[in-house]
Amino acid sequence: MKHLRLSPTRQTMVRPQSQPAIHLAISGMFWSQPTVGSGQYLRMLVQTLPDVAPDMRVTLLLPDDHPPAEPPPGVQVARLRTPFDRRSANLAKVWFEQIAVPLAAKRMRADLIHVPYFAPPLVSPVPTVVTILDIIPLLLPEYRGSMAVRLYMHLVARAARRATQIIAISQHSAGDIVRYLGCRAARVTVIPLAAGSQFHPYDRAYAEREVAAQYGVTTPFVYYVGGLDARKNLATLVYAFARMRYAGGPAATLVIAGRAAGKDPRMFPDLDAIMMFARAGAFVKRIDVPYHDAPLLYAAATLFAFPSRYEGFGLPPLEAMACGTPVIVADATSLPEVVGDAALRVPPDDIPGWTIALWRVLEDGTLRAELSRRGLERATRFSREHLARETLTVYTRALNEHT
C-alpha cells in the first residue's frame, strides 16, 4: 500500500522515503468555470493539496478545447482530446469523462483518479474517488431534463455505485446518495466545503462606499447571490420582502445578484414577473456581480438571505458568515448543518415567517451584531486544510482497497 506524507503539522500517514510518491490524476472539467460550485470545489482542492501533501504528484486533466489553465505551482497539466472536440460539446464531455480520463490515468501510470463532480468513469484501470456535490437531477422533477440528460444521469449514477470511494459535502447529501443511488454507506465520507480566503471581515464603511459607487446600492439592503433556478425559491424571498415593505417595515432594498442559466420556465421562473406580481419593483434591485467583488457585496449588506429549498451544501451562507454578515436561511436540507445556531432559520415556503425574520433582523441592531459574531465563529469551523486532509484520508482508503 502507498501512504501519503502530510505536512509537518499533522503527520498521521508517513510514507517511507524509498517508496514512490502517490500520483493523483484529477478531472479538471470545471477548471474554467471558477464561479460555479463544481469549479469552486475543484480549485479549492487543487490549490490546497500541495500544501498538506507536498510529496504527492498531482496531474490536472483538462479537455483540450478549454481555455489555457494556470494551476498552482507543482501541479502538472495534461490536455486530453476527444473525437467530438468542436463538433458536439455534450458528446465530447461524455467521451472525456468515460474514456479519455481513465485512459490518460493508465497511460501516465497514475495511482488514483479523483473526479470532483458527479461523473466518474464506469470502468477505470485504477481506483476512483468521486465527489458528489448533490444529486438534484435525480431528486427534483423540474431538473430531470431531456431524455439525453436522463440517460446521462443513469450512466453516472451506475458509475458512482462502482466507484471505489465517494465523498459527499454534507450529511444530508450523503443520506440522499445512499438512499437514491444505492451506494453503501461505508463507502461514503462526508467532507464539508469551506469559504475561500478572500471571504473575511472588511471595513464596513469602505465596503458600503464601494458598493454604492459601483452598483448604485445603498444601505440598508438585503442581499441574495446564487442561481435563479426553481429550487433557489426566490419567489418566497420577493413576496416576503414586499409584504414587509407594504406593512411599514424598514425602508430597505432587496438586492439580487445572478442570472438565469436557461429559458425553461419550469427550471428558471421569470423573476421579473414575480417582482411585478408582488408589486416589488420599487424596492428590488437586480445586479451582476463579478466573482472578485463577491466579498465586497457580502460585507456591505445589512443581512444575507438564502431561501433555497435544496442544497448539497450551501456555500453562499458560509461565505456571508465569514464576512461577518448576519444570515437568514431556509430550514431545509443541508443548510442547518452549515449555519448551526449562527443564523435565523425559516421553513423555505413560510412567507409570513420570512416576512417576520427579515423585519426583525433589519430593525434590531443588537440581533445583527449577535448573528455577525456567531457567524464569524461558525465559519472558522470550515477550513480548506481540513477539506484537503480528509480528502487525503479517503485517497488512502481507496488505495487500501486495491492492495
Q: Please name the amino acid found at residue 322.
A: A
Specify if 245 maps to a domain: yes
Residues 35, 158 share a domain: yes
List the single range of 1-15, 52-66, 166-180 with lowest mean pLDDT: 1-15
pLDDT (average), residues 1-7: 47
Inform me whether the pLDDT recorded for 360 exceeds 60: yes
Specify if 310 maps to a domain: yes
Residues 220, 187 share a domain: no
Inform me whether the pLDDT recorded for 245 exceeds 50: yes
pLDDT for position 403: 63
List the single range of 59-68, 107-116, 298-307 with lowest mean pLDDT: 59-68
pLDDT (average), residues 325-338: 98
Specify if 93 maps to a domain: yes
Specify if 12 maps to a domain: no
Residues 179, 93 share a domain: yes
Inform me whether the pLDDT recorded for 6 exceeds 70: no
pLDDT for position 252: 97
Is-contact 386 196, C-beta < 8 A?
no
Residues 187, 248 share a domain: no
Residues 165, 273 share a domain: no
Mean pLDDT of the chain: 92
Q: What confidence tier does 258 reach under pLDDT thresholds 50, 70, 90?
A: confident
pLDDT for position 11: 38
Written as nine digits, the cell of 240 is 416576503
Residues 179, 108 share a domain: yes
pLDDT (average), residues 170-186: 95
Residues 152, 244 share a domain: no
Residues 345, 391 share a domain: no
Which region, left, alpha or beta, applies to residue 64 given φ > 0 means left and ψ of -120 to 50 means alpha? Answer: alpha
Quick one: which of 88, 75, 172, 80 has its CA closest to 121?
Answer: 80
Residues 367, 396 share a domain: no
Domain residues for the domain of 322 are: 204-379
Residues 387, 367 share a domain: no
pLDDT tens for 80-133 read 999 999 889 999 999 999 999 999 999 999 999 999 999 999 999 999 999 999
Written as nine digits, the cell of 350 is 413560510
pLDDT (average), residues 308-336: 97
Residues 162, 36 share a domain: yes
- Look at the chain and report how many structural domains it folds into: 2
Specify if 15 maps to a domain: no
Specify if 5 maps to a domain: no
Cα(331)–Cα(346) distance, integer angstroms: 5
pLDDT for position 73: 84
pLDDT for position 107: 96
Specify if 13 maps to a domain: no
pLDDT (average), residues 258-271: 86
Specify if 11 maps to a domain: no
Q: What confidence tier does 19 reach under pLDDT thresholds 50, 70, 90?
A: low
Residues 323, 281 share a domain: yes
What's 100's DSSP letter? I
Could you tell me which residue, 289 or 146, shows the higher pLDDT? Answer: 289
pLDDT for position 261: 78
What's 62's DSSP letter? E
Q: What confidence tier does 72 reach under pLDDT thresholds 50, 70, 90?
A: confident
Q: What is the CATH number of the domain that holds 212?
A: 3.40.50.2000
pLDDT tens for 192-220 read 999 999 999 999 999 999 999 999 999 99
pLDDT (average), residues 234-242: 98
Cα(124)–Cα(103) distance, integer angstroms: 8
pLDDT (average), residues 233-246: 98
Within 10 angstroms of residue 9's Cβ, the number of other Cβ atoms is 9
Inform me whether the pLDDT recorded for 17 exceeds 80: no
pLDDT for position 10: 38
